[in-house]
Amino acid sequence: MSSLADMIALARAAMDKAHAPYSRFKVGACVRAASGKLYAGCNVENAAYPQGQCAEATAIGAMVTAGDREILEVVLMGGGPKLCTPCGGCRQKLVEFAKPGTPVHLCTRKGRKRTVTLGQLTPMFFGPKNLGK
């Protein structure tokens, strides 16, 4: 089985491939799916700024494309000296496929790390229950 170190290595490799010429802020994400497979993604910016995509969205897209639907663990690595927390939109994207207790490891390239849960990041999230599902 893959380890957290494997996830961090994949997030770092994805971050190194980020297309971030506008913010110069590279981000890499890795999600571990229930199948045991790991999916990584980087942020992909665009000259039309709102068209840029976050690293988490890229990783989730790869996961869903491969047929997985359940996230058990997340690593998010930002290129800066501070821990990179997921933006609001990405918290919502993670909520779709993960649970409140899902660990989210926030990392820097230099080895800083803090683990929180998705529930801590997204109290009172909007989910299927709000839709009556």
Residues forming the site for ligand THU (CB under 6 A): 20, 23, 25, 27, 43, 45, 52, 54-56, 86-87, 90
**Distance between CA 28 and CA 48 in Å, rounded?**
21
Whichever of 20 and 72 has its CB closer to ligand THU, that residue is 20
- Looking at beta carbons only, is 19 or 35 nearer to ligand THU? 19
**Shortest distance, CB of residue 12 to ligand THU, whole angstroms?**
14
Task: Identify whether the C-beta of residue 107 lies closer than 8 Å to the C-beta of residue 26.
Answer: no
Alpha carbon separation from 4 to 45, 57, 82 (Å, rounded): 27, 20, 20
Known catalytic membership, residue 96: no
Q: Where in the sequence numbering do the catalytic residues fall?
A: 56
